[in-house]
Structure 1
Amino acid sequence: MNNEKVYILEDRSILYVSGDDCNEFLQNLVSNDLSKVKDDNSCFASLLTPQGKFLFEFIIIKHKSGYFIDCEKSQSEELFKQLNLYKLRSKVDLMNLSNEFVVAAFSLKKFLEFNDAKQILGHTIKYREDPILLDPRNQDLGARLIINLEKLYLSLKKLKLKSSDTSEYYTLSHKLGIVPLGLNKLQNKLFGAECNYEELNGIDYKKGCFVGQENTARIKHKDKLSKRLFSLELINGSIKENDIINFEGKEIGKVLIDGSYPFGLIKFKELNLDTTNLITESGSLKINKPYWINF
C-alpha cells in the first residue's frame, strides 16, 4: 500500500452505540470481548444467529462515552434494526451516523509516522478528536481514520494523503483473503467459525456467552471445522453465486460471493489448496490460500 495514498471507503457506514448499558449490551451480543475496546485499542467482531451462523461483521472503536461500529454500508440498516430488537429495556441509544462520518484507509507505514502509534493490531490513537486505528484483522490492510465528512478533505491535505481508487484497496483485501464487499451474500450460509474469525481476531473463546456461542465453541473444541471461506481467482470463463465447485468430479465447495472479488466456502481438508483448475458449471478457478491461515 503506497505511503501517500488514502482510500475513501464509501461502502462503509458508522453506527454509534451509547448509554448507561452500552458496554454490557454489546458484550452479551458480539463474538469478541468488549473489554479489549479502550481509547487505545479497537477490535473486530461479528454478530451471529443463535445457531452460530454469520449475520454481520464490524470493527468496534471506543468514542467518547460509547462505541463506533464500522460496518459495511449494505449491512448497516439491517444491523441497526437487529441491535434495536435486542435492546429491549436496556439503557442504550443507537444512532446511524453514516451521513456524517466516513472511513478512510491508508498504509501501515503512514500510521507509524503518528506520535504514539504502535505496530499492534487494533492499536488506536487520536488525530485531533478522530480515531485512527491499525486494522485489527491484519496489518497489511493498513490503518483506518473515522472522521466527520466536513473535516475529511482538509485533514487529508494536512496529512499529505491523496485520495486514490478504492478498487486498489478492495483488490488488496481480496488477495489477503478478507472479504471487502458483498457480506450480505454470506448471511445464514456459513458458521462464524468458517469465516476465519479466529485468525482474524474476531472471536474470543474465553469471554463467555454471546449470541451463537454454543455452536461456535463446539466447532472449535470438537475439531468440527471442515470448511472455510476463501477468496477465489477466476482462471477462465465465469462464475456466479451458488455455483458448485468441483475437483476431479467431486464437489468440494460453493461460490458464495461472485463479481469482482469472489469468495467460496471450501472443504479445505479434502483438497490441496494449491490445486488449480477447480471447475464450476461455466468456468475454472483456483483458491487463494492466505498466508495467515495455518492448518
Structure 2
Amino acid sequence: MYLRLRQQLMEYFLLENREVIAISGTDRGKFLQGIISNDIGKINLDSYIYALMLTPQGKLLYDFFIIERDNSYLLDCPKPFVEEIVKKFNVYKLRSDISIDRLTDHKIFASFSKLNNLFLPDPRNAELGFRAIIDPSISLIGAPLDIRKYDLKRMELLIPDMVSDLESGTYFPLELHLDELNAIDYKKGCYVGQEVTARTHYRGVVRKNIYRIEVIDGEQLEPKTNIYLGEKKVGQTLGFVGSQGLGLLRTEEIETAKDLLFTAHQSYIRIIF
C-alpha cells in the first residue's frame, strides 16, 4: 500500500522536444570523442555527461546528454535536428565501426526528485533534478506535469533550451555559459570548433551574456526580438514562458544600466539580476 502511494505521487515532465539516438560499434567512443566538446571517458552507467557539437567556427549546433547502455551510447538530442545530426554523424564516421540508430519509441523525462534508478542527475545543475531515458517496456504512474513549470525553473537557473530558446549555428557556447553547465572539457583533445572555444576561454573575452528578462508592459515577445536601451541595440530575446524569458545581451551595456527599463518591439522589459 505504501509503495503504491509513492508511485501515485510521481511528479515528472515529458520532454517532447528531445529524441534518442543510439551509437554502437567498437569505434563508438573514438568517434564521439572527435566530435563532442566533452570527454567521452567521463561517461559511465550511473551518470550522464552534457556535451555540444559545434561548427568549425565554434558556434553551437546541437547539445546532447549522453549515457552508456548495453554496449551503446544513448544520446538525448534536440528532436527537430535529429535528421541533421544523423546526416552529420554519417559524414564524420568514414570507415569507423559504428552504427547509428534512431530510437523513436524511447521517451525522455525529467523530474525534480529521483523517482527510480533510471533517473540520473542532470549534469548541468543539481537544482534541475534528474533525467531519464525510458524504453517502451517501462511506464510511469500518472500523467506528466505542465512543462512550463520545468521551463520556468530552467530559466531561473539561466539554462537555455536548444529547441525553444536557441537557433542552431548562431551562438557561441561561452556566451550562453554552457561551459559553466559542464558542457566543455578544456583538457580533452581536439574536436570540431575546439580551437575557437579554447582561445575565447583563455583570453577571457566574452562580450555577451545570458540574462533573465521579464516583460512588465506589453505583449509577449518572440525569440530574436531586438532589445534596446534608448535607441541603442544591446541584445536579443531568446525564449519565453509567459512574461518570463531569457535574453542575450551585451554585458558592458547591461552592467551599467541595471535599474533602467529596456524596450523590445512595443514592450517594456526589465533585467532580473
Instruction: Give the TM bin, normalised by the shorter chain.
Output: 0.7 to 0.9
> CA 1:27 to 1:288, structure 2 compared with 1: closer, same or farther past 3 Å?
farther
1:218 CA drift (Å): 1.0
> CA 1:136 to 1:267, structure 2 compared with 1: closer, same or farther past 3 Å?
same
> CA 1:244 to 1:166, structure 2 compared with 1: closer, same or farther past 3 Å?
closer
Which string of whole-angstrom CA distances, capped at 9 and with x for unpartnered residues, describes residues 268-290 of structure 1?
2332274452112221222344x
Structure 2 residue 210 is the aligned partner of structure 1 residue 229: yes
- Shifted more, 242-251 versus 201-210: the winner is 242-251
Write the distance in 1 (CA, Å) between the matches of 2:112 and 2:235.
Answer: 34
Write the distance in 2 (CA, Å) between the matches of 1:5 and 1:180.
Answer: 21
Partners of 2:37 and 2:53 within 8 A in 1: yes
Q: Give the match's secondary structure for 1:186.
A: coil
Structure 2 residue 145 is the aligned partner of structure 1 residue 164: yes
Output aligned runs, 1:3-152, within 5 Å. Answer: 4-98=10-104, 100-108=105-113, 110=114, 127=117, 131-152=118-139
> CA 1:183 to 1:23, structure 2 compared with 1: closer, same or farther past 3 Å?
farther
Write the distance in 2 (CA, Å) between the matches of 1:219 and 1:23.
Answer: 27
The match for 1:267 is 250
Unaligned runs of 5+ in 2: 1-8
How many residue pairs were aligned? 262
Write the distance in 2 (CA, Å) between the matches of 1:27 and 1:13.
Answer: 21
> CA 1:180 to 1:62, structure 2 compared with 1: closer, same or farther past 3 Å?
same
Which consecutive aligned stretches of 4+ in structure 1 deviate over 6 angstroms post-superposition? none
Write the distance in 2 (CA, Å) between the matches of 1:70 and 1:255.
Answer: 26
What amino acid is aligned across from residue 182 of structure 1 in structure 2? V
What amino acid is aligned across from residue 252 of structure 1 in structure 2? V
Q: Give the match's secondary structure for 2:174.
A: helix
What amino acid is aligned across from residue 101 of structure 1 in structure 2? H
- Shifted more, 80-89 versus 137-146: the winner is 80-89
1:31 CA drift (Å): 0.6
Partners of 1:253 and 1:265 within 8 A in 2: yes
> CA 1:172 to 1:7, structure 2 compared with 1: closer, same or farther past 3 Å?
same
Which string of whole-angstrom CA distances, capped at 9 and with x for unpartnered residues, describes residues 209-255 of structure 1?
11101110111111221112334322222323332211243321122
Q: Give the match's secondary structure for 1:173.
A: helix
Q: Give the match's secondary structure for 2:12.
A: strand
Percent identity between the aligned chains? 33
Partners of 1:186 and 1:256 within 8 A in 2: no
The match for 2:5 is none
Normalising by the residue count of structure 2, what TM-score does the alignment of the two structures yield? 0.87
Q: Give the match's secondary structure for 2:201.
A: helix
The match for 2:222 is 240
Q: Give the match's secondary structure for 1:149.
A: coil
Unaligned runs of 5+ in 1: 115-126, 290-295
The match for 1:293 is none
Write the distance in 1 (CA, Å) between the matches of 2:55 and 2:164.
Answer: 15
Q: CA RMSD in A?
A: 2.2
What amino acid is aligned across from residue 281 of structure 1 in structure 2? H
Partners of 1:227 and 1:268 within 8 A in 2: yes
